[in-house]
Amino acid sequence: MCGICGKLAFEQGARVDAALIRNMLATIRHRGPDDEGVYSAPQIGLGHRRLSIIDLNTGHQPICNEDGTVWIVFNGEIYNYQELRPFLLSRGHRFSTQTDTEVIVHLYEEFGPDCLQKLRGMFAFAIWDEKRQSLFLARDRVGIKPLYYSLTDTSLVFGSEIKAILADPAVNCEVAPEVIDRFLTFLYLPGEETLVRSVRKLAPGSYAIACNGHLEVRQYWDLSFAKPADVPEQKEGERRLLEILDEAVRLHMIADVPVGVLLSGGVDSTAVLSFAAQQTDRQINTYTIGFSDPEIADERPYARLAAETFGARYREMTISADDFAAFMPRYVWHMEEPVCEPPAIALYYVSRLASGEVKVLLSGEGGDEAFAGYSNYRNLLWLERLKRHLSPLNGSVARGLSLADSLFHLPRVAKYAPLMNARFPDYYFSRTSNPYRYSGNGLGMLYSADFARSIDREHSIEPVRQLQKHVTGQNTLDSMLYIDTKTWLPDDLLIKADKMTMANSVELRVPLLDHKVLEFAAALPSNLKVRGFTTKYLAKKTLEKRVPRQILERRKAGFPVPYESWLRNELRGWVREVLLDRKTASRGYFATPAVEQLLARDQAEGGLSKEIFSLLTLELWHRTFLEREQAVVH
């Protein structure tokens, strides 16, 4: 796991200053504290910060081919590199290291961009092809590893993090206010745009080629939910899933340094631990975080049970409201994109705990997106069935759901009322989005009159509108899973996972997001994912002899953080200080009286913590990246 950056100057004979590349690398030192490397030649500069995981002695980057005409900087891990190496040797390629990075160089020589089809792993890399005078950028299929770029008339600048790109004085750090509405709709930023107008994300499963001043972006992989002719029966499905999971975890255990497991106390992380434990004779270190707060589930007893079941060493921790607030500026600095993800702060602290003992952590991230583990999948499936059977009465049912909320205060039920008369998939934007957010909780009424007039709602939801068109005609569950895999997963969960662990120089691996696992899960019929009221049906049946029943049957919780209580109580003064500050108001996005009403409503009724956390994140982002107000200690 590493950090990469670089610059391609389009003008013939122009030279990229190696000092610039080193300045870019300085901003991402946390991603790779073990080593630094720079390659500089006419038109191109490549930079690399290394976190040594494989081939500790000879893995210095950038790495080149035999004659020095192909150079690479690479972030990630290729889990099948040992299988690919013999083929490349048989083709006459000579290796100077034992790294997976060098395998990519020679694969590129053999297959060009099609080399991506051969790779199994998580990756973001850049290859400079001197003979073709082209720069090849690529990102893994799911978007586990981030890759950003900025294109101007004179150059292309790229990096693992936005801050590396902004280290180039030629890149303008100008906010894109039209993206703010997208953030407050989804609570993260789906699509390729960022809040910095000049910086874009390379989409998951895509590559880009820059040559002769032009950039071409292409998609090389997409998740297909087409059902094969040999759809497995349940027992056969269980057998095949066990084999795939066992292989995926085995490959993700490859490392020349200690590997630990991040436990959430749930099914997926416990399953990963169960497979990992059988792959090694060493006692595995496990880490979790929990809170003794009556409002949230405490993960620690279940995580401790998982560790004891598989003979693992168990470590736990908790954090306070003061810890939470103290880290907020650095949370924004590390995340770089505004994301409403309070559990990310817990992930930062628990990975910091792990960093003293391991360099690699496995987690169960992605199991719910692959096998349909979220309750909203089940609820919307039932809603669509209800709508089909009660079509003439949908209006009456919607009014009944709204009445239930007013009489019995059941917001979880009432939120489905507007959907009774909506057509799927037009209303499904992602797990966290709420197309009725503005009328439902008043967030849109926060906008100043000028800012409200400037908003183009179609632009805000455009990335998901394209996905909705793509899934037209697919069944309800597959449509939801596809949209979430293309939006919520890479642009929220995986950004959090990468940025918070790399902040502590720890590599996080996610075996349940191996593309072989995802492709197997996508091909399953819906009734092997959600059956009746049971989510993740086949996965749970497959794991019922491996995962303790107390964990298998418990309600999903994840990494809960009592931030709702903290924002209303311990951190109330700080929240008001930031959101009602004159500087915040001067940005012109929100009407201060409306923000005051939002805070008062949350104090009186609760339920608006996500909105408040999002507003905090947005303001701190402006102070951190536009005004450079917060000093960050590396």
Report, as residue numbers or ranges, the catalytic residues. 2
Amino acid code (one letter) for 160: S
Tokens 């004891």 appear where? Answer: 308
Token pair, residue 512, equals 């349940």
DSSP 445: G
Tally Cβ neighbours within 10 Å of residue 236. 11
Contact 40, 16 (CB under 8 A): yes
Q: Which tokens belong to 530?
A: 């959600």
Amino acid at 388: R
**Helical pair 609-621 and 178-186, crossing angle rounded to 10 deg:** 150
Count Cβ atoms below 10 Å from residue 394 Cβ, excluding itself.
16
The two most distant CA atoms of the chain are separated, in Å, by 76
Tokens at 525, concatenated: 């019929």
Judge contact between 148 and 200, C-beta under 8 A: yes
455, two tokens: 């908003």
Calculate the CA 218 to chain-centre distance: 21
Q: Considering Cα of 234, then 240, then 242, then 248, what sign does the dihedral take?
A: negative
β-strands 70-78, 360-362 pairing: unpaired
DSSP-H helix ranges across 559-591: 563-568, 572-579, 582-585
Judge contact between 267 and 547, C-beta under 8 A: yes
Question: Taking the mean position of all CA atoms in its chain, how far away is CA 136?
Answer: 23
CA distances from 46 to 42, 62, 71, 165, 202 (A): 11, 7, 9, 12, 18
Nearest alpha carbon to residue 277 among 301, 308, 302: 308
Q: CB of 508 within 8 A of CB of 363? A: yes
Q: What's the Rg (C-alpha) of the chain?
A: 24
Backbone angles phi, psi at 8, to 5 degrees: -115, 120
Q: Residue 48: what residue type? A: H
3-class DSSP string for 111-171: HHHHHHHHCCEEEEEEEEECCCCEEEEEECCCCCCCCEEEECCCEEEEECCHHHHHCCCCC
| Distance, CA of 610 to CA of 614 (rounded, Å) | 6
Task: Indicate the helix (H) or strand (E) that contains 494.
Answer: helix 494-502
Residue 175 DSSP label: B
Q: Within 13 Å, how many C-alpha atoms sit on residue 384's CB side?
A: 16
**Hey, which residues does 317 pair with through a beta bridge?**
289
- Sheet containing strand 155-159, edge to edge, reads 35-41, 44-50, 2-9, 155-159, 148-151, 200-201
